[in-house]
């Protein structure tokens, strides 16, 4: 199944959750947020949030600095 992450296509297994995606992308445990339709999905809901064909996601990373 195809999805878009930060405007880039990615193939994922059908039935994958946001938690599965985080593992597939090897995202760090801290400092990362994932948004669907510009709404951040709380990390405790990642396992229950199932991806759909052509869904558009944004992976956001917190950075420090000034």
Segment 7-66, tens digit of pLDDT = 999 999 999 999 999 999 999 989 999 999 899 999 999 999 999 999 999 999 987 775
Q: Are 6 and 58 in contact (CB under 8 A)?
A: yes
Q: What is the rounded distance in angstroms from the CA atom of residue 16 to the CA atom of residue 1?
A: 9
Delimit the domains of the chain by residue range.
Answer: 2-61
Q: What digits encode the pLDDT tens for the residues 35-51?
A: 998 999 999 999 999 99
CATH of 2-61, one of 3.40.50.2300, 3.30.70.1140, 3.40.50.150, 3.10.20.30: 3.10.20.30
Residue 3's pLDDT is 97
Residue 66's pLDDT is 59
């Amino acid at each position: 199944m195809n999805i878009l992450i930060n405007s880039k296509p990615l193939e994922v297994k059908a039935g994958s959750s946001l938690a599965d995606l985080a593992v597939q992308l090897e995202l760090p445990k801290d400092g990362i947020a994932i948004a669907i339709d510009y709404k951040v999905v709380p990390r405790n809901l990642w396992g229950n949030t199932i991806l759909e064909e052509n869904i558009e996601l944004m992976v956001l990373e917190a950075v420090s600095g000034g």
